[in-house]
Chain A
Amino acid sequence: MLYLVTSLYFAFVGGLLAMTMRVQLSVPSNSFLQADAYNAAVTMHGLIMILWFLSPLGVAFANYIVPLQIGADDLAFPRLNALSYWLYLVSGLMAVAAFVVPGGAFNGGWTAYAPLSSAQYTPGPGPTLTFTGFVLLCVSITVGSINFITTILSKRAPGMTWSKLPIFTWFTLFTQILMLVAFPSILAGLIELISGRVLNMSYLSASAGGALLWDNLFWFFGHPEVYVVLLPAFGAILEILAVFTGRPLSGRNAIIVAAGFLVVPLSIFVWGHHMFVTGIPAVEREAFTATTFAISVPFDVMVLSMIHTLAGGRIRLKTPMLFALGAIIVFIIGGITGVMLASFIVDIALRGTYFVVAHFHYVMAGATIFGLYAATYYWLPKMTGHMYSERLGKLHFVLSFISFNVLYFPMYFLYDMPRRIFTYSAGTGWGSLNMIASVGGIVFALAQIPFLVNILIAVYGRIPSVANPWGAVTPEWKPLALGPIGGLPKTESGGASSAHEQTMSQRPITLAIGGAVTLTGLALLQIGVGVPFMLAGLFLVAWAVIGWAMDDLRGSFKVPEDGPGEKWPAAHVSKVKLGVWTFLSSEVLVFGSLLASYVYIRAYTGADWPAPGTIHPVMVGAVNTMVLLTSSLTALLALRAARAGDKRQILIWMGLTFVLGTAFLVIKGLEWSDLLFLTSYLSPALSKPFTPSSGLPGSTYYLTVGLHAAHVFGGLMVMLYIIRRTLAGKVTKENHRVVELFGLYWAFVDIVWIFVFPLFYLV
């Protein structure tokens, strides 16, 4: 419910920005907004609507419905769920706050194409704050998807096998997997971008390859993000379609296979269709056209199966059903125009025009919003215990559906008008279509008033709802399923209230605020006042993390243990281990994106790179590699000792691992001192310092190696915790999971180094 309210707040902000743009464009040569203000509005509208409204709204329903649908008392990690929510909230506030920070909110488009996004062209801490807010959102998303994936894999009630899993939960799983895959790439991109803005590094501002590097990283995230936004809505539409047709879905299994086994993997290989006219090789254009055409096949199968479900049914046109059908109609229109854009030849005509604006608003905004409105009306009686007003709901639908089409359909005919222009002259002839669109936009905004009123009617209303008002068959409607959130469950199950008490830890919110303050400080470094913020923020983070660890040592927060239930294929894996594996797979992608950036940019610059051995001493690097690899061995021995329950041995091997990890960092520190201050501890001095701002070799080296060192440092902290825990006698033969999980993480850190060492020291 918190998610729902917060995302609607951000929808309001994003919608307000959209209104200012529609007012500005309603007549030619208008002067309501100036260029920079318009550009900031267009940028923040995109960012807020996609990142802080549409995707979290899907998550809001997932948060409430998925545990009910799979028969779990809560998500697998309640505290991580809280953390994910607070991070989401503060990250959005950071992005919005950028409007009042010097430099203003970023105004280079939500796609933030390099090098317009560099400090040279959009100076000031304001834009940086927009991006650091985005970074925090990436963390929130990663934490959230770890939680959802683990929950769906391991917290299903007995009998809830995959074949019975409700379709909304299936689609949530697909969404979360895509989030896990897509966000690391933009996280890596943002790290490169921010390091450029704050530390004067030169990844994306590099004249060679920087612009296209960002394009690749951004769209590798950006395209799957479209499906991240869309799939939860599709899941809801499918549930609703079956219920209000009174028939099971036609081809339910075909739909699941189409979405999960075709859309999800294919969506990772279509990003290049955003780059058809960037001059990428013809063969790549052809390949991306082929993959993009291919991904429309599973969507077509889904839509046609939806329509086929209708045939022969007993259709009841209640508000949720109307919105679901409306969503399908706008999706069909958006989808067909998407096929047009997928052709790399047709795209030449349409790239960067209002045709594209119309297309993605049909698929991303229209289909998603209508689908999630359908979900809201459908589940409101469940969430509040009261019925909404059917008449107001229908009014909301009719007004929204008509005004949406009046708003966006004319834009298809503006296929010569460039996107994101703040004004145009009367001679272009674009005036009347823009006027129609603006009128549609304002009506659409007003049409949302009945929606808000209706939510209030359901929340405070007096029309009680029966347990299963729609005659649905999915588990969340069973009379015994947990009742309205917020208040206490009305029916039975005292278990629910105790489950909620346990989530009342203060640590997640402290951690989120600490993260926000740190990253705000990072942005403010640009005007020289960031350090106190960063120190305060880091203090809060440390306080929250240490507190979290102490809670666990004292056992003051009872984490519900794994219960019985359907867990295939995760039957023999604990939920924590599952979570760590999911986390590590996202980490692999972050480092993968960084290393890929390095290789890409080196391939571009070619011979300009310093020869191996001239800057980074090979011998020192090799010795340090041995130190780190040895520490993996000692970590393994610690795990063996833990399995045997030998406390003394655990302490010896864990301590040795700690010493080796520290040694690695000390050697690294000396190396950096040699490079930065020409101290010559380990190698003969260079002729001039090699710093993060020493062009691309400096930027790539310090960022990649520095991030790895930060991971080693994180590992050291975990080791301290384990040692403390062992001393307290809490690492035993029966309960040594923490050592095992640390071992996994440490092995990952070592493996990353095995890639970093040759790439930076040997070639």
Chain B
Amino acid sequence: MEPVYLLVEPQVATGDLFRLFAELGTIVGAVVIGYMVYNMFRYRAKGDDGNTLEDYYKGEHKSHGGWRYAVISGAFTSVILITLFALTMNAAAVVLHPPASNDTIYVDVTGHQFYWNFTYPDGHSQIDNLTLPAGAVVVLNVTSTDVFHSFGIAGLDLKIDAIPGRVNTVWLTVPTPGEYTIRCYELCGSGHALMTGKLYVVSPSTYNQWYSSLPG
């Protein structure tokens, strides 16, 4: 098998972006809510007397400078969001484009009520179990024969909808052997919760041995 050099696996790019967003979000949220709660206590009035809006309009008017503040906060937000958009596009360059490789493994994934069917290039198919070699570039062609499902692998940050009449493509590569749970992420009927499967990532030699021993 010819080695493929990757900077980062697609599901890792997705997961890293998620964690980065979550960290930034936590910081921004803490700062904003903290500032708000600080204001809330800092400017607390003692009692009702003379503190109402009616009272305010009886006295002198001070301008809040509202427009200027609004425009500055909008501009500030925009800068953050443009950065986030750039980060998203950066990750998309990996996630949306499988690298060229002569050894890419194509597997057809078909959702049914309520199981997953996996068909390998040689026509062999199996239910609810997906076996893949570690380190290989794998392209999944995902569809459904009945209702709307969503194919997802918990712990791998990978999801793609399985829609009747439509084939959606996603790629992944898992560098080390391991075991993952496949789930359905779109309500598809009474068996939705139980529509689980297993992804076994095995060493390339184990995979080749297994694949060549298949009845075809």
Contact = CB atoms under 8 A, between A and B. Distances in A.
B77 A301 contact: yes
Contacts of B85: 289-290, 293, 343
A382 to B, nearest CB: 15
Contacts of B177: none
A15 interface: no
Contact of B163 (A243, A278, A289): A278
Given A313-B43, A346-B88, A304 B165 contact: no
A695 interface: no
Contacts of A471: 48, 51-55
B64 A248 contact: yes
Interface string B51-85: 11111110000101111011101100110010011
B138 to A, nearest CB: 16
A473 B91 CA distance: 51
A519 B148 CA distance: 28
Contacts of B87: 343
B64 A121 contact: no
Interface residues of A, number: 94
A113 B193 contact: no
B96 to A, nearest CB: 6
B202 to A, nearest CB: 21
B166 A279 contact: yes
Nearest to A255: B70
Given A121-B147, A250-B64, A293-B84, A416 B190 contact: no
Interface stretch (A329-337, A373-381, A501-509): A329-337
Nearest to A421: B193
A249 to B, nearest CB: 7
B159 A351 contact: yes
Nearest to A345: B91
B88 A325 contact: no
Contacts of B71: 254
Contacts of A394: none
A320 to B, nearest CB: 13
Nearest to A346: B18
B95 interface: yes
B13 to A, nearest CB: 7
B190 A352 contact: no
A80 B168 CA distance: 47
A335 to B, nearest CB: 9
A307 B28 CA distance: 14
B50 to A, nearest CB: 8
A422 interface: yes
B53 A473 contact: yes
A424 interface: yes
B103 interface: no
Interface stretch (B34-42, B118-126, B127-135, B207-215): B34-42
A316 B184 contact: no
B39 A307 contact: yes
Interface string A412-425: 00001011111110
Contacts of A416: 154-155
B22 interface: yes
A344 B92 contact: yes
B18 A254 contact: no
Contact of B52 (A248, A255, A301, A470): A470
Given A116-B148, A116-B187, A252-B66, A300 B54 contact: no
Nearest to B15: A349
B98 interface: no
Size category, B interface: 35 or more
Contacts of B164: 115, 207, 210-211
B189 A115 contact: no
A754 interface: no
Contacts of A297: 74, 77-78, 81
Contacts of A311: 39, 42-43
Contacts of A418: 152, 183-185, 192-193
Nearest to B32: A332
A348 B14 contact: yes
B175 interface: no
A299 to B, nearest CB: 9
A121 B146 contact: yes
A544 interface: no
A345 B13 CA distance: 9
A423 B193 contact: yes
Contacts of B184: 418
Given A246-B51, A421-B192, A473-B54, A115 B147 contact: yes
B160 A314 contact: no
B29 interface: yes
B39 to A, nearest CB: 4
Contacts of A312: 43, 62, 64
Contacts of B185: 351-353, 418-419
Contacts of B161: 277-279
Interface string A270-304: 00000001110010001001100110111011011
B45 interface: yes
B99 interface: no
A290 B65 CA distance: 30
Contact of A254 (B29, B42, B70): B70
A114 B165 CA distance: 12
B191 interface: yes
Interface string A96-112: 00000000000111000
Give me the 4 closest cross-chain CB pairs, A-B, nearest first.
Answer: A471-B52, A251-B66, A352-B185, A254-B70
23 contacts: A39-B189, A39-B190, A107-B190, A207-B165, A246-B52, A277-B160, A282-B96, A286-B92, A293-B84, A296-B81, A301-B70, A332-B36, A333-B33, A345-B14, A345-B88, A345-B92, A346-B21, A349-B15, A350-B18, A471-B48, A472-B54, A473-B53, A473-B57
Interface of B: 13-15, 17-18, 21-22, 25, 28-29, 32-33, 35-36, 39-40, 42-45, 48, 51-57, 62, 64-67, 69-71, 73-74, 77-78, 81, 84-85, 87-89, 91-92, 95-96, 113, 146-148, 150, 152, 154-155, 157-161, 163-169, 183-194
Interface of A: 35-36, 39, 42, 107-109, 113-116, 121, 206-212, 242-243, 245-255, 258, 277-279, 282, 286, 289-290, 293-294, 296-298, 300-301, 303-305, 307-317, 325, 328-329, 332-333, 336-337, 339-340, 343-346, 348-353, 416, 418-424, 468, 470-473, 604
Given A115-B146, A277-B168, 13 more contacts: A116-B147, A116-B187, A121-B113, A242-B53, A249-B66, A254-B66, A312-B43, A340-B25, A345-B95, A349-B14, A418-B152, A423-B193, A472-B52
